[in-house]
Amino acid sequence: MQSRLLFIISIYCSLHFFGLYHRLGGRTTFILIDAIGFALILLILIAGRNKINKANQRFYTPLIILFFFLFLSAVSCLWFHSQSMIATFISMRYWGFLALYFVYHKLNLEKKWLEKFIIYSCLIYIGIFYLQFILFPFDIVPLGRIDSFDRGLLRIRIEGAGFLMLAGFLSLNRFLVYGKKRRLLFYFICLVTLFMLGFRTFLATSIITSIYLIIRVSNNSVLLLRNIAITFIIGYMVYSVPTVNEFIEDMFVRTSSQIEQEENYIRIQTFYFFSEQVNVNEFSLIFGNGFPQEDSSYGKFVYNRGVQDQGFIFADIGLIGFTFIYGLLSLFLFLYLFIKGIFIKTNRQDVYLSAYLLYLIISSITTVEIYRTGMFGIEALVFYLIDKSTYKRSIK
């Protein structure tokens, strides 16, 4: 019971309790939650009862190397942009929640309970999102620059969104393996909620990844053909709904319009800004320019001239933006963790884990989803669950 409570507090600290701190002290509470989260991580790692068996931790070594490369990005930031390493560490502190991977192994929680936790956490997220949707423009979570609905949808990314499709893929996986219809229903609830968020990239990626999941789980050609047929039938029915049809058609119109803009497209302009004005040379590209802290001269340049004046945000260019900030070395190690997780062979009922990692990689080509604040504790949980799944396979 104590281990479960510590787990819940630590992972919810990593996503700042779904952004609910906003009405409970705002920024001060946000910083306090970070402090509590990191204190718990240190406490559990130092005083935890269970010993860490590195042999059962497939992601142990690459995570340690990733932390080292992130450290080098802070050194690079000091060297090329004269921003103190302390300021850089404070700005990129959320990466520290990846260390929850080691905490989960210390707590040694059972896989079945963790999967229930994922479903319940997803329900909490869905509840908070729809409550915010109903109460808008009154804000119960941070809304950023959102001041109106977009085509009837509320385009906000509440921390904890990582649970949405993780629970969705888990439910689809269970339906495909065990045939439980309520699992399929919950999958569609997750998909509808993703649609309500109004982001083209996430909706398209979730569909692609769902097909990948169906193919991976179907262990014979007859079952595969049946599942694909069911998918296309349901997909056509959903597409026939006027609201969905209009949204999807608008997706293609917007995408083609952005392609036609070429040099004027904001993502292309953002790329030029970071490649020509922020990045110093090939060494800063390899090691990273470091995460800008708002009060430093480097941070003021990136935020004032880039974000405020021209709307250039490195998050808009996804993994390319990641490279300019954290460097190629960190990018390769970070992606290696996900690719390793995708290709590790797990049980049929656990394919949702690799599907989720694939979903994050694809969606992050043009978004910041894979390294968004609030995602690291969830990603650490996925890595831990892969370890649990493969450990059981090795025992069998």
Question: Which residue ranges make up each domain of the chain?
Answer: 2-395
Supply the pTM of this predicted model.
0.91
Sign of the alpha-carbon dihedral angle for 73, 79, 85, 90: negative
Q: Are 290 and 77 in contact (CB under 8 A)?
A: yes
Q: What is the pLDDT of residue 121?
A: 98
Residue 235, phi-psi category: left (phi > 0), alpha (psi -120 to 50), beta (remainder) = alpha
Q: Which of 344, 323, 339 is nearest to 391 (CA)?
A: 344
Q: What is the pLDDT of residue 395?
A: 45
Angle at which helix 60-81 crosses helix 328-343, to 10 degrees, equals 160
Q: What is the pLDDT of residue 81?
A: 94
Q: Which of 182, 131, 162, 202 is nearest to 16 (CA)?
A: 162
Give the pLDDT confidence of 137-178 residue by residue, as tens digits. 889 998 877 767 666 677 788 999 999 999 999 999 999 888
Give the pLDDT confidence of 279-313 residue by residue, as tens digits. 999 999 999 999 999 889 999 898 887 777 777 88
Question: In a 3-state reduction of DSSP, which class is residue 115?
Answer: helix
d(CA 152, CA 259): 25
d(CA 39, CA 102): 14
The pLDDT confidence band at residue 47, using thresholds 50, 70 and 90, is confident
Q: HSE (CB half, 13 Å, CA atoms) of 92?
A: 26
Is residue 14 scored above 90 in pLDDT?
yes
Sign of the alpha-carbon dihedral angle for 290, 296, 301, 306: positive
